[in-house]
Amino acid sequence: MIPAAFDYHAPSTLDEALQLLARHGDAAKLLAGGHSLIPAMRFRLAQPEVLIDLNKLDTLRYVREEGGALVIGAMTPEAWLEESAVVQQRFPLLADAVAVIADPLVRNRGTVGGNLAHADPANDQPAVMLAHGATIVAHGAHGRRTIAIDDFFVSLFESALQPGEIMVEIRVPAPAPSSGGAYVKMERKVGDYATSAVAVQLTMSGQTIASARVALTNVNPVPMRSAGAEAALVGKPATEEVFEAAGKAAAAECDPSSDLRGTAEFKRDITRVLAKRAIRRAVARAQGRS
């Protein structure tokens, strides 16, 4: 289908974009990579009267390390993370995930900010950033504010961004020593959204799991952390029994729906298996074995 008619603006500064957003209010939508918004417009699920295209805002495209933390401009294409030495060497959870987000065509245009702002539980970046304990930086009429990722996903396709705000940056904290992360995704075919996927970021103290964050993709109406899986890991030795208990807790806690990718029961069990694999890989990385 062809989208409904809309006016189009392509501001070249953030200030200009913010002014346009303030002027057009609810009638406007921001356009980043367009890989979620344009399909929604073609199906007439979204019918903005005004599109504000952010693609001229080169100042929002960067991936760099600042004091050990990773800072990512909201308009950074996913593909840039695949090519980033810092991501590949120091943020293995993120490196795992970007390699399995859609396909190279989508990753070349789709942005990290758009992936998160869309608040789609099927997208991969929400679980990755939940497991990393990231911070979102939003810019609105009254300046900048930060939003903890735990407070960012409000409901299906709804984030904590307020009207008039633009996401400008994502900040991923520096992993502590002896940390490891992993993302394990099951998809029907290469390039598909997850049937289920699990993101894990943890820190070891000797043979004990000192801290852990576990988050799930596409098995809940809202991107979620699994508090049960985390509780099953923290303070425990890194054994297969502990990994199994955490996997079971994640499976019990999620709320998948039955669809073309499988029944809810199947997705729960897959979540259990993927959680175990992701935890095992994260531990191995934390111990320098992988």
Q: Which is nearer to ligand FAD, 187 or 244 (CB)?
A: 187
Q: Which is nearer to ligand FAD, 197 or 282 (CB)?
A: 197
Structure tokens at 95: 């490196």
Q: CA–CA separation, 286 vs 28, rounded Å?
A: 45
Q: Which is nearer to ligand FAD, 125 or 201 (CB)?
A: 125
Query: Minimum CB separation from ligand FAD for residue 193, in Å?
Result: 5
Query: Minimum CB separation from ligand FAD for residue 128, in Å?
Result: 9
Integer-rounded Cα Rg, in Å, for the chain is 19
Structure tokens at 66: 């600042």
Query: Minimum CB separation from ligand FAD for residue 275, in Å?
Result: 19
Query: Minimum CB separation from ligand FAD for residue 195, in Å?
Result: 11
Q: Which is nearer to ligand FAD, 35 or 248 (CB)?
A: 35
Query: Minimum CB separation from ligand FAD for residue 5, in Å?
Result: 18
215 Rama sector, left if φ>0, alpha if ψ -120 to 50, beta otherwise: beta
Instruction: Please say whether the beta carbons of 63 and 86 come within 8 A.
Output: yes
Q: In terms of residues, how long is the chain? A: 290
Nearest CA to 160 out of 182, 133, 141, 136 is that of: 136
Paired strand residues for 30: 52
Q: Write the CB contacts of 256 (distance below 8 Å, at least 6 apart in sequence).
A: 196, 218, 219, 220, 264, 267, 268, 271
Residues lying near ligand FAD in the complex (CB under 6 A) are found at: 29-37, 54, 74, 101-102, 106, 110-111, 113-115, 117-118, 120, 123-125, 161, 166-167, 191, 193
Query: What burial class does residue 180 get, using C-beta atoms within 10 Å of its C-beta: 0-12 exposed, 13-18 middle, 19+ buried?
Result: buried
Q: CA–CA separation, 264 vs 241, rounded Å?
A: 24
Q: Which is nearer to ligand FAD, 137 or 245 (CB)?
A: 137
Query: Minimum CB separation from ligand FAD for residue 53, in Å?
Result: 9
Which 3 state secondary structure label does DSSP give 96? helix
What is the identity of the amino acid at 210?
A
Q: Which is nearer to ligand FAD, 219 or 286 (CB)?
A: 219
Query: Minimum CB separation from ligand FAD for residue 46, in Å?
Result: 7
Instruction: Please say whether the beta carbons of 286 and 178 come within 8 A.
Output: yes
Q: Which is nearer to ligand FAD, 120 or 230 (CB)?
A: 120
Helix (H) / strand (E) element for 23: namely helix 14-24
The residue with tokens 């593909």 is: 79
Q: Which is nearer to ligand FAD, 149 or 232 (CB)?
A: 149
Query: Minimum CB separation from ligand FAD for residue 60, in Å?
Result: 7
